[in-house]
Amino acid sequence: MLLLSESDVHQVLSMPDLIAAMETALVQFSSGRVQQPLRTVLEVGERKAFFGLMPAFVPDADALGTKLVTVFGTNTAVGLPTHLATILLLDPKTGQLLAVMDGRYITESRTAAVSAVSVKHLALPDAGVLALIGSGVQARSHLEAIGHVRQLRDVRVWSPRPDSRERFATEMQTHCAAPITPAPTAADAVRGANIVALVSSSREPVVRSEWISGGAHICAVGACRPDQREMDTALVKRARVFVDSRTGAFAEAGDVVIPMKEGAFGREHIAGELGELAAGTVAGRQQPHQVTIFKSLGMAVEDVAAAQLAMTRATEKGLGRGAVI
């Protein structure tokens, strides 16, 4: 069995490789070539922390595994990331444990890589003004990933704490050719932006339809439970909406579930899954001024595909350490 630390995983997974691997995994999922149940979620404690179990089997890649993921918002106070994860890979022929690896970085990077796939297929070809709503690890990874599929000319960042957005702009400027500007409000950040990444921890809408310009593409990543959302109903109703999984979106995506409960639209409002779009089986943007949304929840197939890639690359480079259990 191979043990891989976060440092090992970080060394072997490049963002361009992840974007390509995620696109393949999404197509496999939406083509019905992946076995993946809806994740099992437990709420832990009075603050309703999140513990999820996410298994998947990908026959085309000969990959079988699961991710154990936790989201504890109080971790910031004790110096730990709010999102932590461990990924297990098994031999699909025998069930033998092949690898155990830290999944925190995989979760961070594969999420951004999937968003980049959506930008590749849905953003306008010349889109280069990026608004980041949130200034944490997902904002950092999305800045990197989106920069691989579009030439960025201007980046704005907003989060509730001025010191956080100022620090993000200062620290990330050395990694980005485009100027990064802290915005005083979320509205200032998204006005005129043609790519918007919603990577906040908010449980209530942080952007409104009237702030979003025609032709914008939105990656909505932050809200992952049915009672949470980052966009108001008018924005979701106005847009052409894609999801990673219809089953997951109708069960867990508050940005979809809440407007449906309000009667704003029905299930047919979802234009398709991102894997269908990448495979060319559903149409993407229909008009230059149309607003498009990719609502991301994250899927086990993405984690297993990324972990399989990490295990292969680490073995080639002699990274990690062996263990017997």
**Same domain, yes or no: 161 and 71:** no
Q: Between β-strands 129-133 and 321-322, what pairing exists: parallel, antiparallel or unpaired?
A: unpaired
**Same domain, yes or no: 166 and 197:** yes
**Same domain, yes or no: 157 and 30:** no
Q: What is the pLDDT of residues 161-170, one digit of tens each?
A: 999 999 999 9
What CATH number is given to the structural domain containing 240? Answer: 3.40.50.720
**Contact at 8 Å (CB) between 291 and 215?**
yes
What CATH number is given to the structural domain containing 92? Answer: 3.30.1780.10
Q: What percent of the chain has pLDDT over 90?
A: 87
**Same domain, yes or no: 173 and 101:** no
pLDDT at 285 over 80: yes
pLDDT at 324 over 60: no
**Same domain, yes or no: 204 and 161:** yes
Give the separation between CA 235 and CA 161, rounded to whole angstroms.
Answer: 25
**Same domain, yes or no: 270 and 140:** yes
For 241-303, the DSSP string reads EEES-HHHHHHH-HHHHHHHHHTS--GGGEEEEHHHHHHTSS----STT--EEEE----HHHH
**Same domain, yes or no: 127 and 258:** yes
Radius of gyration of the chain (CA): 19
**Same domain, yes or no: 188 and 245:** yes
Higher pLDDT, 45 or 310: 310
How many distinct structural domains can be found in the chain?
2
Q: Considering the chain, what is the average pLDDT of its residues?
A: 95
Q: Which domain holds residue 80?
A: 2-107+301-322
List of residues 6+ apart from 177 with CB closer than 8 A: 152
**Same domain, yes or no: 141 and 50:** no
Structure-token match 């990933």, residue found:
145
Q: What is the pLDDT of residues 171-181, one digit of tens each?
A: 999 999 999 99
Q: What is the mean pLDDT of residues 119-140?
A: 97
**Same domain, yes or no: 220 and 272:** yes
Give the separation between CA 198 and CA 264, rounded to whole angstroms.
Answer: 21
